[in-house]
Amino acid sequence: MTKKTAIITGAARGIGLATARLMSGQGWRVVLADIDSDELALVAQGWDDALAVPCDVSDPDQVAAMVDQAVAWSGGIDALVNNAGVADFRPMGETDLAIWRRIMSVNLDGVFLCSQAAIPHLARTGGAIVNIASISGLRASTLRVAYGTSKAAVIHLTRQQAAELGQQGIRANCVAPGPVDTKLALAVHSPEIRAAYHDAIPLNRYGREDEIAQAIAFLCSERASYVTGQVLAADGGFEATGVGLPALRAV
Ligand SMILES: NC(=O)c1ccc[n+]([C@@H]2O[C@H](COP(=O)([O-])OP(=O)(O)OC[C@H]3O[C@@H](n4cnc5c(N)ncnc54)[C@H](O)[C@@H]3O)[C@@H](O)[C@H]2O)c1
């Protein structure tokens, strides 16, 4: 049986790398796309059936070249995981236009551009798009005017994709992770934020990269063949708890 091919953006580390490793173990060929070409080259060393392609997802020319390279290598694309993302936590008043644009260009434009370049190929295979949003796109909070808004937009973009691409046989879904110990989270989660997350999450802990990867791989797979337009919060129960006051849970 011919192997299926997945493009995974932001695959040099964190959730993207965990997803690439999991899917590779499940028999997929994986295209690892990331802006960090050094880290990418390191992780791809000796990895059979993986192609590393340095790419800034916010640059339309680089995205087009990455997708061309992927198709030349594999012959087709069966799944696109739009995982590359950047975070920034600061008050609205300190979020200048350059910061806003940087977050939007990677987190939102990147999803739009990679999807648009991959759609003709996904239409040929009846493939799947999985976009990585965040609980910050489902629930508003302080300090995330750019990050949270970009992720809320990714959730709506997923629904737009599902609505429009279904007739081409393409499914589009979204995974909204809760906090996961990656470089991205370490950069923006202070010890106080970490403790508060533990309190607010019914499972009382951060998620692991491989737990998010399992949700992503499921939505890419045939096991999710009738699932499209959905947001799967892999978040330890965070989104479900409207009044998740630690004081109430302790009673
Ligand atoms: N870690 C968390 O707590 C958490 C929670 C919710 C959502 N997420 C989302 O999960 C995704 C993965 O995050 P992570 O925690 O693994 O972060 P990470 O920082 O460990 O990995 C992100 C990867 O994306 C790459 N990247 C950044 N900008 C890029 C660009 N312009 N083009 C291509 N690649 C680029 C980085 O080089 C890095 O390898 C992100 O979209 C993030 O917003 C993470």
Question: Distance from the CA of 171 to the center of ligand 1, in angstroms?
Answer: 22
Q: From the CA of 107, give the closest atom in ligand 1.
A: 41
Q: Which numbered atom of ligand 1 lies nearest the CA of 14? A: 16
Task: Give the Å distance between the CA of 105 and the centre of ligand 1.
Answer: 13
Amino acid 146 reads A
d(CA 19, CA 26) in angstroms, rounded, equals 10
Q: Which atom of ligand 1 is nearest to the CA of 13?
A: 39
Q: What whole-number distance in Å separates Cα of residue 197 and Cα of residue 150?
A: 21
Probe residue for ligand 1, chosen from 19, 40, 182, 206 as the CB with the greatest number of ligand atoms within 8 Å? 182
- In order along its 251 residues, the chain shows pLDDT tens digits of 689 999 999 999 999 999 999 999 999 999 999 999 999 999 999 999 999 999 999 999 999 999 999 999 999 999 999 999 999 999 999 999 999 999 999 999 999 999 999 999 999 999 999 999 999 999 999 999 999 999 999 999 999 999 999 999 999 999 999 999 998 888 888 888 888 888 889 999 999 999 999 999 999 999 999 999 999 999 999 999 866 666 776 66
CATH of region 5-237? 3.40.50.720
Report the nearest-CA residue for atom 24 of ligand 1. Answer: 10
State the closest ligand 1 atom to the C-alpha of 87, by its place in the atom list counted from 1: 43
CA quadruple 51, 57, 61, 63: dihedral positive or negative? positive
Provide the pLDDT for residue 200: 86
- What is the pLDDT, as a whole number, of residue 188? 86
Alpha-carbon span 127 to 138, nearest angstrom: 26
Q: How far is Cα of residue 145 from the mean position of the Cα atoms in its chain?
A: 19
Pocket of ligand 1 (CB under 6 A): 9-10, 12-16, 34-36, 55-58, 83-87, 106, 110, 132, 134, 177, 179-180, 182-185
**CA angle (237 as vertex; 161, 208 as ends), nearest 5:** 80
Tell how far the Cα of 83 is from the centroid of ligand 1, in angstroms: 6
Residues 6+ apart with CB under 8 A from 101: none
Q: CA-CA distance, 188 to 183, in Å (whole number)?
A: 9
Helix (H) or strand (E) holding 105: none
Per DSSP, helices labelled H in 55-205 are 60-74, 97-104, 110-125, 145-165, 183-188, 191-200
pLDDT of residue 1: 60
Substitution site in 7, 15, 158 for ligand 1 pocket (most atoms within 8 Å of beta carbon): 15
DSSP string, 127-164: -EEEEE--GGGTS--TTBHHHHHHHHHHHHHHHHHHHH
CA atoms within 13 A on the CB side of 164: 10
Residue nearest to atom 20 of ligand 1 (CA): 14
Which residues are annotated as catalytic?
Answer: 147
Determine the 3-state secondary structure of 228 from DSSP.
Answer: coil
pLDDT of residue 251: 67
Domain range summary for the chain, segments of one domain joined by +: 5-237
